[in-house]
Each structure stands twice: as structure tokens, then as C-alpha cells.
Amino acid sequence: MATLSRGDLLPPEIVTDLFNKVKGKSTLAALCASRPIPFNGVKDYTFTMDKEVDLVAENGAKSAGGITIGSRTIMPVKVEYGARVSDEFMTGSEDMQLDILGAFNEGYAKKVARGLDFMAYFGINPRTGTAATETINDNHFMSKVTQTVEYDAEAEAGPDPNAAVEAAVALVNGSEYDVTGFAMAPALRAALAAQTDKSGRALFPELSWGATPGAIKGIPASVGVTLAKDNKLLGVIGDFTEGFRWGYAKQIPLKIIEYGCPDNDTSAGDLQGHNQVYLRCETYLGWAVLVPEAFALIKPKAGE
């Protein structure tokens, strides 16, 4: 790689590395494997058998069972990130270019991961923090999932985060779905780590000292600060295998822009006038809460 030109693609090994990092930083990506989603979207179907199987006697009549079919269209949305770098990048050595690309890859992966959680949990634009009504609309957990449990951190009898988790599990199981994953905010992890039994022994010693194991009580778990946005959400528990889907386009375009003001920051000036180039990555992400009743949300008690 001597000098990159505009419109090049990130090398395949960097793309793979990028999404490995995304999986490690996003609670959703950690609990639900991604599946490629085409740029023009994909429609996912859910099938619900309305009744149980029918026991039929010899020469007996069969009755209707019934099936309910639902569908969700997953339409990818575009996210982007760009940064100005010195134009020495264009004429520097291959090692220098790889160093810059590696740093950009590392930072971009973290931002994409955080962005996926912010968008899919809260339906917001990650950069502005405001509701993305035109692009995301109601395609997020806070809008779709109605099964909720309130956790009272200031209860007179003492906080009982384990009871809140058990109540959330009961809601999911009551809807006849299995719990395959548990995403939690650091505050809930800390509350569970501090909880003890009547003998003073920790109920969840694996969470002590800020530890974030990949599973708790045999259930895959992921801790992420993204759930703590504006203190609205403490945990999401449910069937991430059947109830949620996300994916991205395989090719991640890397644009190296040499002219103009691509970030619309007029105070930063023209690129050529400041000996700079602009690196920009754009990714198409899609997701859907396919089965809202397969999840339960743990929220802080109102006012806390």
C-alpha cells in the first residue's frame, strides 16, 4: 500500500478486525450474532402457533390449529465518522499510513459499537442525543418493549437487585420465551455485586471489583455504559436469539478527501489551505426488535 486514493476500501483484514472490536464493545453485538443485511433492507417473519397440538382418536375429526404471521422490515441506516489528519499521511511511508489507519479503525469501531446500542436501545442519534424520529422512529427497545420492572435502589428494606432480575425473567418466561442474554448498566452490575445473603456472603462474587464476566448464573451477560444513557435503563433481559436481529454491510468504504470542508466546520477552514486530508468511514447498520414480548426492561424507580 503506497498511497491510498479517494474511494478506496478498508483492507479486508481491517474490516474483520473492526467488527471484532464492535462485538466486544456493544452489549447487543455481544449477545446477538450479526447477520448480513442488504442495503435495500430485508423482511423478517415471525410465526406463532395459536394452539397446542391436537390429540386425535382413531377415526376422530381434526380441528383447526391456526397460525399468526407477523413481519418486520429491517432497513439499514447510515452512520458515519470522519476526522482531519495532516496531509503527510498521503506522502508518508507505508508504516505511517498503517499506524494512522489502525488508530482510526480502533476509534471508529468503538463509536460504531456505542452507536448501535444508543440507536437500538433508545432510538437516538448517538452524536446529538436527540430522538431520530425520521430514521429510527419507534424501532428501539424503549418503544417496543412493554414488559418492565422497576428497581428501587432506595427501598426501606434495602435494595434487592436480584429480585428485580428474577421478576424480569418471570415476565419473559411468562411470555413463553427463554432468557438467552442479559445486558446491564454498570449501576446494576455494582448493585448485584454488593448484594449479600443472610450470612453476609456475596450472591454474585463473580461481579466483584468491577469484573464483567461473559456469563452470570449460566446466562450470557454483557455490561455496557450505553444502557445508562440519561439513567433511563438499567438492564435488558430476554431472548436475544429469536427476538432481536442486527447486521451490517460487509464493505466499509473509506474515503480520503483532499479538498473542501467535508465536515461542514467552516471554522476549521479548507483542507488544502491547512495541509490536511479528511478520513471518513460510512457504515450501514440495520436492526429490529422482532418479538418485543421476548424481552423485559429493568428501569430505575421513577425519581431516582
Q: What is the pLDDT of residues 41-66, one digit of tens each?
A: 666 666 667 677 777 877 777 777 77
Domains and CATH numbers, the chain: 12-44+70-300 (3.30.2320.10)
pLDDT at 1: 34
pTM above 0.95, yes or no: no
User: What's the pLDDT score for residue 279?
Assistant: 86
Burial 38-76 (b: 16+ CB within 10 A, else e): eeeebeeeeeeeeeeeeeeeeeeeeeeeeeeeeebebbb
The 181-184 sheet, strands edge to edge: 148-151, 295-300, 235-238, 181-184, 219-223, 215-216
The pLDDT tens digits of the residues spanning 269-300 come to 888 888 888 888 888 889 999 999 999 999 99
pLDDT-derived band at 35, boundaries 50, 70, 90:
confident
Contact 234, 304 (CB under 8 A): no
**Mean pLDDT (the chain, rounded):** 84
Q: How do residues 177-226 score in pLDDT, each as one tens digit?
A: 999 999 999 999 999 999 988 888 988 999 988 888 889 989 999 999 99
